[in-house]
Structure 1
Amino acid sequence: MASTYASIAGLQRDLKDGKTTVKHVTKTYLDLIERLDKDLNSFTTVNKQALEEAEKLDSLPAEQRGPLFGVPIALKDQIDTAGIRTTYGSKACEDYIPPEDATIVRKLREAGAVILGKTTLCDWAAGFSSMSSMTGTTRHPIDPTRDPGGSSAGSGTAVGAGLALAAIGGDTGGSIRLPSSFCGLVGVRMTPGRISRDGMSALVKTQDTPGPMCRNVEDAAKILDVLVGFDEKDDFTSINALTGRSASATQFQDAVAQPFLEGKRVGVLRQEFGSHRGINGLLDKTLADLKSAGVELVEVEIPNLDNFKRLTAPYVLRAKADINEFCASRPALQHIKLEDLYDKGIYHKGLDLIPSAVKGTTKFDQNPHFAKYLVIREEFQRKVAALFAKHGLDAIVYPTCKTLAPKTQQLLDGEWKELPNTVIGSQLLFTALSVPIGRAKDDDFPDDPALPVGLEILGVPLSEEKILNLAAGVEALQSKPWK
């Protein structure tokens, strides 16, 4: 990792004490991007106005400095930025410059963040890897022979390599949590609608959500306090009215300030542990530490889980319709249709989801299988919610992925077909996050460096504060075992 800040708190402390300036910090990160990203390939576009914007922030009086003052942040290139090229991972959009910021970009700017640039993703966020017709592949920040996971690949590598202090990714089936797990980061999938998707390209509108990718839970909470809330431009955000409480400026930071593990009840979904010895060893140690800290562990099982995962996958049903609808909403992109890109070969051939998605109907609700999908999804939600209710659970845990980050060549050769465990939370429309629990060696490549492993923490909808608090507790156990 490059020699940069490890936390928002550390950066803002130095800014407050006059030890540095936003402009100096921004220049440090931009210089690192210029020097290191030629090899990593995590950025599609760098913000040419970043230094000018940083200088303006330095001129603000203390009382006008927002909660993310001076934070150098990267944005997945799925999110519109006025004046900064936005490609959605597709070569078809290599020259597109949006006229307006997405709502979350406006909120970040108003909070004092500096947008460093846009990060790589696979075409239209349609996959679990970095493979993109626009940028090729992105390298893992620890082992350059491996893929950082997707679709928020560049965000994972940029933060993991120290080229940004934090990043915003987008998660439909696991595109925040998988690269966070592979790159050793905290990645949060919010209940869909908690954060506005205005200005963010769609893959599956009912499952899409942006969210933070950071080095620690506290940083994720700080960013969530800025991004979460109702937005008239995205009526999905009306779900925020269902929380039953008034939002505060620090509601998520308050949730992680005092990690409290004793008496928590956590379900252990052992059926999703896989067979990797190193990953399972870290899981066993983490569970033992949680138990020592007073957590009550409950073994749980989701009946017919493999069938539920298969039958509630919505991509073939509606991804084509949602991508096309998004493009049609932009005058400069109205000529783009996913089926035409497929016919012309304008997508990375390593992506299986594009050929599958184009088989879908133009109007998803006219698909004869759509009603059955909705019925099964509701059954899936009831089955899992019943586990929470029956056992009085605060969360359910399992590995974010059963494997370590794959070799890039394995992906290009079509040899890595792992379906990460992240799809469980996504297809339930629940909230979930990935938190690092250590590093493991790859038995097939013993000379390679040890790679990060993530623990997924699943919560019922709108329970973000609860799972963030638990994640903060898991994080604390990494440096101070409860033994």
Structure 2
Amino acid sequence: MATVNTASDVNKQTIILEKIKAHSLLASNQDSIHIVENLPDYLPTTDLERFPRRDVHRPKLEDNKGNAWAWKVRIEGAKEGPLKGVSMALKENIAVKDVPMLFGTNIFEDYVPDVDATVVTRLLEAGTTILGKAVCENLSLCASSFSAATGLVENPYATGYSCGGSSSGCGHLVGAGKVNGAIGGDQGGSIRFPASHCGAVGMKPTWGLVPWTGMATHEPVHDTTGPMTLDVATNARILQAIAGRDGIDDRGMGVPKPTELPDYSAGLNLGVKGLKIGILKEGFEFKIMDPRIRERVREAANKFKDLGAEVIQISIPLHTHAADIVTCALRPSAAQNGYLGQACGRRGLYLNGLVDKMIPLDQQKFDKMFSTSKFSLLSGLYIWEHHPLLYGKAMNLYRQLTDSYNAALSQVDFFITPTMPYVAPKHAAPDAGPLERMGKSRGFAVNTVCFNASGHPAMSLPIGMLSAVDDENVMLPVGMQITGKWFDERMIYRVGAAWERGFDWKNGERRRE
């Protein structure tokens, strides 16, 4: 006589069958994982025969005044090209095949990229000579120049004072005249901070204009790379060589090809006669701003009147809250992208070798992180856990920021703010606590990070000198920030060149014709 299954038996058999099906589905995933893990990675090729890397070494301290070089190497570019004779340094978050990348940290010490970043290839094809990698602050997350694991970087104008960060080595090397130019990375002001503190011209181009391919990411919406130089004309030449989409980085999918770009040098001699210049009211009103900076930058902006431009005051109320909005978007995104190896949703080149060194982020690695990096990570994780909708709202407000700046730029050709709220401070003491360390860069980004959020191009131009806050005998550079319409770098270069040609920035006097 056949056994009759009870309801309980049927239930058990059903569960077993479902488990078998689930295991089969999971097994199919594992099959795909096994296949992909065994496929070779797909990387851009590097022409080592044409551009060999010579004399790669970590320089000794006695040969590294200012401690700005992370690695020295000599890579000769093409025999002919628009940048022939131009010497360059690269921020330490930029991949150069067979040259170690420190990324400002000692969480790992043995990462050697297996690819050249797009900017490296383009510089070499344009004829430049790359002399090495410049110190990057700890994980590219400090606006001062004392957080790198290799030690503090000195301001070229005053030993003991900050270069700004995170492209600190670039700022020193350019400001001291040790290279003709450097490529920095700017995700909140990290090109413009060092440029302002070190008396250099620092261009943060329109978001996506220069490919980020082969650079260590922090936050893709903010990632922007561009040139630092001692003069506007050289800056424009370098941007010409590195800009334009490369077909890899999705930040630049709507950007023209390199051959379709405007000539950034074409307007350098046009002057500013007939242009309308806005002085952004809110950019001068932050409480943290040194009144001397406010006065000096207003004075510099008004000098455009002497050159034939109209100067008016404009107002963008949302600018006051831009840094707060960015905090709520940048930190949670950076926590996933920059620390936890969970970058996703973007088309581009992933530096998997670097991620492999970063993860897992255990207690030992966390303990080696600088205080600003720890704070950024913990802030981001806190926001995700306690305010999970905040990131999305902040990103919506990014569009409002962009629209607000666009509305103002429909009324003026460009507008002016101070780059930094105060001149370079002294380095934090070696035994300083976390709050004192982070306090050295408090409020740095009030006028800069907003344009990483909105995507607009912005350039810091040196326009004067002021004494250090703590020593009237120490004179330090002051930067003025010029912000323009998306993809209108040519206008920014035009007005920057006009001011540079008209006035001696170190004394503010009118140059003789």
What TM bracket, shorter-length normalisation?
A: 0.7 to 0.9
2:490 aligns with 465
2:414 aligns with 395
Please, which of 169, 174, 179 is the counterpart of residue 154 of structure 1? 169
Root-mean-square deviation (Å): 2.9
2:370 aligns with 348
Q: SS state of the match for residue 174, structure 2?
A: helix
Deviation at 1:430, TM superposition (A): 1.0
Instruction: Give the gaps of 5 or more residues in structure 2.
Output: 1-53, 344-348
1:231 aligns with 246
Amino acid in structure 2 at the alignment position of 1:252: Y
Query: Cα gap change, 1:35/1:164 in structure 2, threshold over 3 Å: closer, same or farther?
Result: farther
Structure with the greater alpha carbon radius of gyration: 2
Output one character per residue of 1:401-460: Cα deviation in whole Å (capped at 9) or x when no partner.
110011102795333212332122222221101001011112431132x10000000112
Whole-Å separation in 2 of the counterparts to 1:221 and 1:84: 27
Whole-Å separation in 1 of the counterparts to 2:360 and 2:159: 31
Within 5 Å, give how 1:46-195 maps onto structure 2: 46-47=72-73, 50=74, 53-54=75-76, 60=79, 65-195=80-210
Query: Cα gap change, 1:212/1:36 in structure 2, threshold over 3 Å: closer, same or farther?
Result: farther
The more displaced of 103-112 and 182-191 is 103-112
Q: Is the 8 A contact 2:145 2:162 kept in 1?
A: yes
Whole-Å separation in 2 of the counterparts to 1:478 and 1:467: 17
Please, which of 276, 280, 297 is the counterpart of residue 269 of structure 1? 280
Q: Is the 8 A contact 1:338 1:358 kept in 2?
A: no
1:374 aligns with 395
The more displaced of 81-90 and 268-277 is 268-277
Query: Cα gap change, 1:302/1:89 in structure 2, threshold over 3 Å: closer, same or farther?
Result: same
Please, which of 300, 304, 308 is the counterpart of residue 286 of structure 1? 300
1:18 aligns with none
Amino acid in structure 1 at the alignment position of 2:393: K
The more displaced of 294-303 and 149-158 is 294-303
Q: SS state of the match for residue 96, structure 2?
A: coil
Q: Is the 8 A contact 1:328 1:335 kept in 2?
A: no
Q: Is the 8 A contact 1:170 1:210 kept in 2?
A: yes
Please, which of 206, 210, 223 is the counterpart of residue 225 of structure 2? 210
1:10 aligns with none
Amino acid in structure 2 at the alignment position of 1:408: H
Amino acid in structure 2 at the alignment position of 1:174: G
Amino acid in structure 2 at the alignment position of 1:431: P
Query: Cα gap change, 1:318/1:338 in structure 2, threshold over 3 Å: closer, same or farther?
Result: farther
| 1:296 equivalent in alignment to 2:322 | no
Number of aligned residue pairs: give it: 434
Amino acid in structure 2 at the alignment position of 1:458: T
Instruction: Give the gaps of 5 or more residues in structure 1.
Output: 1-25
Within 5 Å, give how 1:20-59 maps onto structure 2: 38-47=64-73, 50=74, 53-54=75-76
Q: Is the 8 A contact 2:111 2:353 kept in 1?
A: no
Deviation at 1:218, TM superposition (A): 0.4
Output one character per residue of 1:224-249: Cα deviation in whole Å (capped at 9) or x when no partner.
11001111111211231499x9325x
Q: Is the 8 A contact 2:318 2:401 kept in 1?
A: no
Please, which of 432, 436, 444 is the counterpart of residue 419 of structure 1? 444
Output one character per residue of 1:106-145: Cα deviation in whole Å (capped at 9) or x when no partner.
1111111111111112222112122335223211111111
Q: Is the 8 A contact 2:68 2:170 kept in 1?
A: yes
Deviation at 1:340, TM superposition (A): 3.2
| 1:408 equivalent in alignment to 2:456 | no
Q: SS state of the match for residue 139, structure 1?
A: coil
2:503 aligns with 478
Question: Normalising by structure 2, what TM-score?
Answer: 0.78
1:200 aligns with 215
Identical residues among aligned pairs (%)? 27
Output one character per residue of 1:366-399: Cα deviation in whole Å (capped at 9) or x when no partner.
942222112211112222222222xx21111011
Question: Normalising by structure 1, what TM-score?
Answer: 0.83
